[in-house]
Chain A
């Protein structure tokens, strides 16, 4: 995601301010205290849970000239000082030994002039912004840190190209791959790195953050639950100016009474909606590929549908505690009447399948049609 854009560096903080990732940070801290740091990490976890922030703060500590070490009961907690020359340049985004490698950098490669932002991680970027840069010694600090974003989008060529460097980087180098889907990485890539997992963020924290952004309670709560622990996603949705929330309300409404005849019509509407939201999203995030954004919106809509099915299932078992769509309980109830437990489970499985199709270049209209036709058919209605 575009959180790698250097402009986001403005929100600089320190390791202490990273929340809900205590386990990941304690693994890092232990390695730091023992001075036994692997040269390559994979930070794995869902989108928007703080992988990039942690990687950035960790890099800041590794590069800092006077790290501050605080003794605690279990292990020492190290953090960057925030005031040395290294930290100062880091904050300004021009630290010579800190490199963020992301796929949109293709624009800046030798042959990349005028090319649109890529969908996959191109090998040119890996070559020019990682492999070539690894070889020169650090300028300011004792180490050099490379953070490679969206590792799940590395294609096979790019990964193969990385292997040699991951296997044996120069001793002063630390490489951090960020990855949301570990299964997309080759076994050869994974075996060369230490994997650190990042868990979901606390719902309360997300609600709190959204409210700070001026989102009212019901919506904040809804987005927090839909995001399933991804603070980044929730914030992005919230930034879309109510659009998404209204869409979701309508969508759940239509779903609850979806009939076979309406399915195609609704699919078309979803498609239009996707384009509309994507256009707004694109304005918030210039520089990201249009296809990427389109896919993200389409996935969000499918996720909304999944959340409704999920709720229907939950309602059948527990009777309505902790629903994602708590604000539209009536509609969920109707849905729950139509699908029993087993059916909902099946539909959810199908919907997850369509989520994967979105990433494999399947026509979005077909995806929505298939999904909704499938949902309209129900034994109880008897078609």
Chain B
């Protein structure tokens, strides 16, 4: 194989690919990327056996078709540090040479047949979404996924497709996010009215792809994998096994205490009232009274904090405790300047809504 490539374009590709390549793994071949040069195109593949990326590189000139497997970190470092605009890459029986104007690198590659297959996106898409919409949705739900739960389903994000809307749902058992994304076209095939669970890692990759806001993302299900294609990148990922909890049942619908609050002001109030909480007393108290909302936090032997806020509220007063971090997480991703907070009783979850599509359920904590 012999190709000439544009250094900047290659560096950008490797930036994304190396985010999948595991830095430490007992299977050394996974620390490599596979580069194939066909008649017309050059593709680079990376995988950690759960998530794979198939990247079509632009601005390359193919002199001889072939393929090579080389360590991702060495290749990325060489491409990053080089000063030339164009570099050439040549593979001779497993030994890979990279040449610039004044530089010459030789890297020992590995056997191509040992590299696990990374699928491409063949055929039509089952569903299309605007990249910008999808990325906004990912940002709004990813933080609520569970880390290392033995309830496997919670380690991913539920994709639920109904009509022209995609609901993304994530929960870790103490809080739940549901956000809806508009689809560019009505879904077809297996994906119409499907429920799938996509690993959190794959979702976070979606944030890193695409160049312009107008890109659309094509999605398809093949066997146990989801394929996501956007511009010149195809991400393939295994799906998570398991049944996602019936989340509709825990979204309260009978609340009468409703407040409309400023996102920015509440975020600041929560942050300040949480300053004096400690490991043992991690909660802050929200006291809703007539025309006023008081945030208070206290830690034994440290002191206490109190932030007052004037609000438009006339119903019954209520005191309820929350984990401030869980409030901060959600307030950071709310896009609207104002949001609605709905409360029931002290021992029932709080409900936060922003716009028609975003919803957050948060379990209260007992402040004794």
Residues of A within 8 A of B (CB): 6, 85, 88-89, 92-96, 105, 107-108, 113, 127, 131-140, 164-165, 170, 172
Contacts and interface: CB of A to CB of B under 8 A. Distances in A.
B117 A132 contact: no
B157 to A, nearest CB: 13
Nearest to B237: A136
Contacts of B224: 137-139
Given A89-B114, A137-B238, 4 more contacts: A6-B27, A92-B113, A108-B25, A164-B150
B49 A170 contact: no
A366 to B, nearest CB: 37
Given A94-B29, A108-B25, A165-B150, A137 B241 contact: yes
A133 to B, nearest CB: 8
Most buried by A among B113, B225, B241: B241
A137 B26 contact: no
A261 B96 CA distance: 67
Nearest to A137: B224
A94 B115 contact: yes
B26 A105 contact: yes
A69 to B, nearest CB: 24
The prevalent SS among residues of B at the interface is loop
Contacts of B115: 94
Nearest to B147: A132
A135 B26 CA distance: 20
A332 to B, nearest CB: 46
5 contacts: A96-B47, A136-B239, A137-B239, A138-B224, A170-B152
B238 A138 contact: yes
Nearest to A169: B241
Most buried by B among A105, A135, A140, A165: A135
Contact of B24 (A6, A88, A113, A132): A113
B30 A94 contact: yes
Given A108-B24, A136-B241, A139-B224, A96 B49 contact: yes
Nearest to A173: B241
Contacts of A137: 224-225, 238-241
Contacts of B232: none
Nearest to A139: B238
Nearest to A127: B148
B188 interface: no
Contacts of B117: 85, 140
Interface string B241-279: 110000000000000000000000000000000000000
Interface in B46-72: 47, 49-50
B63 to A, nearest CB: 29
Nearest to B28: A6
A116 to B, nearest CB: 15
Interface in B101-149: 111, 113-117, 148
